Amino acid sequence: MPSQTWLVKSEPSTYSYADLERDGKTVWDGVRNFTARGHLKEMQVGDQVFFYHSQEGKAVVAIAEVAKEAFPDKSDETGRFVAVELKPVRSLKQPVTLEDMKANPALAELKMIRQGRLSVSPVTADEWKAILRMAGE
């Protein structure tokens, strides 16, 4: 499988892209949803990940990269969930808002739009390019 692309959500008040840049890398844990867990397990080192700010901002603001593949989430007492490690790549030239993404027919099938509450979702190669273009890149 060639490298895939993904989108993760985070509330900036909890953990923003600026926090990731400051930290250099972070353990992406706390995911408690089986669909999202499945995606975490599929991630491979080097996969590119859009970093989306939910609630405040509601926009894709940056690109991160998978630094470590799925391992048991230590914050999960049941032992059922996994975490990955992410590191920052770069901020987008301009954030791409949810509103803009919804308005773009090329992104009508985007998983995070179709299933709003999913915190980790796949992004196709075409969707990736479309979002980069909207970011002015």
Partner DNA sequence: GCCAACGTTGGC
Q: Which residues bind DNA (CB under 7 A)?
A: 9, 11, 32-35, 54-55, 58, 98-99, 115-119
- Nearest approach in angstroms of CB 54 to DNA is 4
Nearest distance in Å: CB 76, DNA: 10
Closer residue to DNA in complex, CB, 72/116: 116
Owner of token pair 């970093």: 51
DSSP output for 37-66: HHHHHH--TT-EEEEEETTTT-EEEEEEEE
User: What are residue 60's DSSP bridge partners?
Assistant: 52, 96
Tell me whether residue 3 or residue 13 sits nearer to DNA (CB atom): 13
Structure tokens at 122: 């796949």
Question: Between 75 and 115, whose beta carbon lies closer to DNA?
Answer: 115
